[in-house]
């Protein structure tokens, strides 16, 4: 089973979805074997959760993907002008028409999700959030509760715990990028200790460093679904191998600390 996660509003104006549909030779038989997920809301210079934009976006997505329905639709970056009742109207129309089966969000904190849930009746099943070994704020703040240090700052409203409590699957994006698209930490001279630790553990399991980076996310009991975002076949295979690697608690914390995260 596969997941296609695409962002037509900002990546190629939807071209990515056309290419994907052509690459897999989309037809009814193939469609029933995969899970298709896409997003909407980012527009040039703004975010848009309006009813009209959501409906228009989905129609465009379906046309480009050569399908009649999406399994999952996510609302991308939070819209400061969101009107939850309008979002609910859009979701109801999409669900009743069969165009979208399930819904979720991306980059949203607990209160933003709660605001949507005030009007939206459908469960919000997923939340895409930046998370990897070098971007661990949602984990680190939980470890440093009640401490007088920068790591104790709660920057996201305890979104990790909230999602776990509400059965919302976290989909980590940029699982091997440090900062905000500043580069790949695997093999980077900026993370010497981290890479030494990852390489040592990778040697033990006879896998690549990419596999260990994904395995570190999968080891968390929140049952996350990493967004690997690669067009490299070998790297894709390495990511898939992570599901067969179960890091020990010691290994998980060793990797966490080697990235510069100190325990209180």
Alpha helices for 40-191 (secondary structure H): 51-65, 84-96, 110-117, 137-143, 159-165
**Percent of the residues in the chain that have a pLDDT greater than 70, as a whole number:** 96
**Residue 257 domain flag:** yes
pLDDT tens-digit map of 64-81? 999 999 999 999 999 999
Q: Which residue has the tokens 């059965």?
A: 167
Whether pLDDT at 6 is above 70: no
Task: Specify whether 111 is located in the same domain as 11.
Answer: yes
Task: Specify whether 155 is located in the same domain as 114.
Answer: no
Q: pTM for the whole thing?
A: 0.93
The two tokens of residue 130 are 């930046």
CB atoms within 10 A of CB 8: 21
pLDDT (0 to 100) of residue 10: 65
Task: Specify whether 242 is located in the same domain as 165.
Answer: yes
Instruction: Say how far apart CA 215 and CA 238 lie, in whole Å.
Output: 10
Which residues, in sequence order, are bridge partners of residue 106?
128
Task: Specify whether 80 is located in the same domain as 139.
Answer: no
Task: Specify whether 5 is located in the same domain as 107.
Answer: yes
**Residue 126 domain flag:** no
pLDDT tens-digit map of 29-72? 999 999 999 999 888 899 999 999 999 999 999 999 999 999 99
Tell me the residue range of the domain where 153 lies: 131-264
Task: Specify whether 243 is located in the same domain as 115.
Answer: no
Whether pLDDT at 4 is above 80: no
For the chain, the domain total comes to 2
Give Cβ neighbours of residue 26 (< 8 Å, ≥ 6 apart): 65, 66, 67
- CATH number for the domain harbouring residue 155: 3.20.20.100
Instruction: Say how far apart CA 68 and CA 98 lie, in whole Å.
Output: 8
pLDDT tier at 1, thresholds 50, 70, 90: very low
pLDDT (0 to 100) of residue 195: 98
Task: Specify whether 112 is located in the same domain as 137.
Answer: no
Coil, strand or helix at 100: strand
Q: Which residue has the tokens 């994904």?
A: 214
């Amino acid at each position: 089973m596969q997941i296609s996660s695409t962002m037509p509003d900002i990546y190629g104006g939807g071209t990515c979805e056309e290419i994907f549909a052509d690459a897999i030779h989309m037809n009814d038989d193939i469609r029933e074997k995969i899970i298709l997920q896409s997003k909407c809301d980012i527009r040039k210079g703004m975010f848009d959760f309006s009813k009209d934009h959501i409906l228009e976006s989905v129609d465009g997505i379906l046309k480009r993907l050569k399908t009649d329905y999406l399994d999952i639709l996510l609302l991308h970056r939070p819209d400061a002008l969101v009107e939850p009742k309008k979002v609910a109207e859009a979701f109801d129309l999409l669900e009743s028409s069969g165009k979208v089966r399930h819904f979720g969000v991306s980059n949203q904190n607990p209160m933003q999700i709660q605001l949507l849930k005030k009007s939206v009746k459908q469960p919000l099943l997923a939340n895409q959030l930046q998370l990897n070994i070098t971007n661990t704020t949602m984990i680190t703040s939980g470890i440093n509760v009640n401490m007088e240090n920068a790591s104790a700052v709660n920057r996201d409203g305890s979104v990790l715990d909230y999602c776990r409590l509400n059965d919302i699957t976290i989909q980590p994006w940029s699982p091997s990028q440090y900062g905000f698209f500043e580069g790949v930490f695997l093999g980077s001279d900026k993370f010497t200790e981290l890479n030494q630790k990852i390489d040592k553990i990778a040697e033990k399991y006879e896998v690549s460093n990419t596999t260990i980076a994904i395995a570190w996310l999968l080891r968390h009991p929140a049952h996350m679904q990493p967004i690997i975002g690669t067009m490299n076949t070998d790297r894709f295979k390495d990511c898939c191998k992570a599901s067969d690697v179960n890091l020990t608690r010691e290994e998980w914390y060793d990797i966490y600390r080697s990235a510069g995260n100190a325990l209180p």
